[in-house]
Protein backbone atom coordinates (compact mmCIF):
# COMPACT_ATOMS: atom_id res chain seq x y z
CA UNK A 1 0.00 0.00 0.00
CA UNK A 2 1.46 3.39 -0.94
CA UNK A 3 2.41 5.62 2.01
CA UNK A 4 -0.12 8.35 1.16
CA UNK A 5 -2.99 5.87 0.94
CA UNK A 6 -1.93 4.31 4.25
CA UNK A 7 -1.85 7.75 5.89
CA UNK A 8 -5.33 8.57 4.57
CA UNK A 9 -6.71 5.25 5.83
CA UNK A 10 -5.16 5.77 9.27
CA UNK A 11 -6.67 9.26 9.51
CA UNK A 12 -10.08 7.97 8.44
CA UNK A 13 -9.95 5.27 11.12
CA UNK A 14 -8.91 7.80 13.78
CA UNK A 15 -11.68 10.20 12.77
CA UNK A 16 -14.24 7.39 12.82
CA UNK A 17 -13.10 6.25 16.28
CA UNK A 18 -13.31 9.78 17.65
CA UNK A 19 -16.76 10.21 16.13
CA UNK A 20 -17.91 6.93 17.66
CA UNK A 21 -16.64 7.80 21.13
CA UNK A 22 -18.17 11.27 21.05
CA UNK A 23 -21.45 10.04 19.59
CA UNK A 24 -22.03 7.09 21.97
CA UNK A 25 -19.43 6.77 24.74
CA UNK A 26 -21.25 4.01 26.65
CA UNK A 27 -21.39 1.72 23.64
CA UNK A 28 -17.74 2.50 22.85
CA UNK A 29 -16.78 1.53 26.40
CA UNK A 30 -18.74 -1.72 26.08
CA UNK A 31 -16.92 -2.54 22.83
CA UNK A 32 -13.52 -1.85 24.42
CA UNK A 33 -14.39 -4.06 27.41
CA UNK A 34 -15.56 -6.86 25.11
CA UNK A 35 -12.35 -6.64 23.07
CA UNK A 36 -10.29 -6.70 26.27
CA UNK A 37 -12.15 -9.84 27.41
CA UNK A 38 -11.38 -11.53 24.08
CA UNK A 39 -7.70 -10.57 24.22
CA UNK A 40 -7.35 -11.61 27.87
CA UNK A 41 -9.11 -14.92 27.19
CA UNK A 42 -6.77 -15.65 24.28
CA UNK A 43 -3.69 -14.90 26.38
CA UNK A 44 -4.98 -17.05 29.23
CA UNK A 45 -5.70 -19.95 26.87
CA UNK A 46 -2.24 -19.72 25.31
CA UNK A 47 -0.74 -19.72 28.80
CA UNK A 48 -2.81 -22.76 29.78
CA UNK A 49 -1.75 -24.57 26.61
CA UNK A 50 1.95 -24.04 27.24
CA UNK A 51 1.62 -24.88 30.93
CA UNK A 52 -0.05 -28.18 30.07
CA UNK A 53 2.44 -28.79 27.28
CA UNK A 54 5.44 -28.38 29.59
CA UNK A 55 3.95 -30.28 32.51
CA UNK A 56 2.77 -33.14 30.29
CA UNK A 57 -0.81 -33.04 31.52
CA UNK A 58 -2.46 -32.80 28.07
CA UNK A 59 -4.90 -35.65 27.52
CA UNK A 60 -4.98 -36.84 31.11
CA distances (Å), 45 to each of 15, 37, 38, 50, 56, in order? 34, 12, 11, 9, 16
> What band does 5 get if pLDDT is binned at 50, 70 and 90?
very high
pLDDT tens digit sequence for 15-55: 998 998 899 999 989 989 999 999 999 999 999 999 988 88
Phi, psi of 58 (to 5 degrees): -75, 130
Residue 21's pLDDT is 87
How many other CB atoms are there within 10 angstroms of residue 31's CB atom? 13
Residue 56's pLDDT is 78
Identify whether the C-beta of residue 49 lies closer than 8 Å to the C-beta of residue 55: no
d(CA 53, CA 36): 26
Amino acid sequence: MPPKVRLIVIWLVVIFLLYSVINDPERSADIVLALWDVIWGAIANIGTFFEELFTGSIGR
